[in-house]
Amino acid sequence: MMDNQLFAGTESAYLGKMIAEFYGKSLGSIEIQKFSDGEIAPYYTESVRGNRVFLIQSTIPPSDNLFELCLMIDAAKRASAYKAIAVIPYFGYARQDRKDKPRVAIGAKLVANILTAAGADRIMTCDLHAGQIQGFFDIPVDHLDGAAVFVPYIRKLNLDNLLFASPDVGGVKRTRAFAQHFNAEMVVIDKHRTKANEVAEMRIIGNVEGKNVILVDDLVDTAGTICKAAKIILDEGALSVRAFCTHPVLSGKAYENINNSVLEELVVTDTIPLRQESDKIKVLTVAELFAKAIKSVTQDGSISELFI
């Protein structure tokens, strides 16, 4: 009789354990062995034959985490698992989703090809940098929405004169969905980059005066854009500024930037574990959201009911 098993990779061990608890099962037993030169060798210490296995791993840099997931998929298929479902809370390389200049790689498509070649039968992820990345796969993709955990928290804040802001033009669709749900207005931050992680110019399209503003984005990396946008918004007469970003990449001077910023708080999820704590960073868990999605898949149910 087919069973459903959940396993977690090295980088998502804590989140995987929480997902398993919400799902109602213990994590399966897997050993991730490493040779002295860093070579990875995963080994399932229990049978997966004929079962549907869910492999939980965020593909956070370095690329070892992506390759570890691929090896887990390959090992499961070679051990005669019925299906190998890659549960990727944070899908790395998603920012490389198109050719924005000549002679560049489309990293998101390459990762999709690699996961498929490794033997993944299905992908489950959350808040892709660009929704159309789902089309890079020829296998089913369950694209969960971080709004499911953010919206209840925003309601509890009970803020008057609420206004949502997109930190760039690319995030307008995501921000508009929040604004429509709360029957609020939205503004857009128009920014110009000279190179990656460096903003040269920024201005607000819309009026923020007298508003409690919530910046919405899929991820926060160095936090330079978010912190600079927050200061401009406050300078333009806003009452307060908060930021809600699903994936806390938080590289470089991110923690320093956030701690020194005018942000009331930065609200993120646990798709990526924090490297250090900060009084300004609030973490919400997506474990229950993923557990419900996994249960829906195993019971041939609908994923759409999980969306706000």
| Judgement on whether residues 41 and 94 belong to the same structural domain of the protein | yes
The full 3-state SS of the chain, as one line of letters, equals: CCCEEEEECCCCHHHHHHHHHHHCCCCCCEEEEECCCCCEEEEECCCCCCCEEEEECCCCCCCHHHHHHHHHHHHHHHCCCCEEEEEECCCCCCCCCCCCCCCCCCHHHHHHHHHHHHCCCEEEEECCCCHHHHHHCCCCEEEECCHHHHHHHHHHHCCCCEEEEECCHHHHHHHHHHHHHCCCEEEEEEEEEEECCEEEEEEEECCCCCCEEEEEEEEECCCHHHHHHHHHHHHCCCCEEEEEEEEECCCCCHHHHHHCCCCCCEEEECCCCCCCCCCCEEEECCHHHHHHHHHHHHCCCCCHHHCC
pTM higher than 0.85: yes
User: Which tens digit of pLDDT belongs to each residue from 88-116?
Assistant: 999 999 999 999 889 999 999 999 999 99
| Judgement on whether residues 13 and 83 belong to the same structural domain of the protein | yes
Catalytic residue among 25, 191, 228, 231: 191
| Judgement on whether residues 278 and 153 belong to the same structural domain of the protein | yes
| Judgement on whether residues 267 and 199 belong to the same structural domain of the protein | yes
Q: Is 60 exceeded by the pLDDT of residue 199?
A: no
User: Which tens digit of pLDDT belongs to each residue from 241-290?
Assistant: 999 999 999 999 999 999 999 999 999 999 999 999 999 999 999 999 99
User: Which tens digit of pLDDT belongs to each residue from 23-49?
Assistant: 999 999 999 999 999 999 999 999 999
| Judgement on whether residues 34 and 117 belong to the same structural domain of the protein | yes
CATH of the domain at 208: 3.40.50.2020
| Judgement on whether residues 120 and 227 belong to the same structural domain of the protein | no
| Judgement on whether residues 69 and 151 belong to the same structural domain of the protein | no
| Judgement on whether residues 241 and 115 belong to the same structural domain of the protein | no
| Judgement on whether residues 269 and 298 belong to the same structural domain of the protein | no
Number of domain units in the chain: 2
| Judgement on whether residues 75 and 132 belong to the same structural domain of the protein | yes
Decide if 191 is catalytic: yes
Q: Is 80 exceeded by the pLDDT of residue 21?
A: yes
Domain that holds residue 60: 4-144+287-306
| Judgement on whether residues 139 and 155 belong to the same structural domain of the protein | no
| Judgement on whether residues 276 and 294 belong to the same structural domain of the protein | no
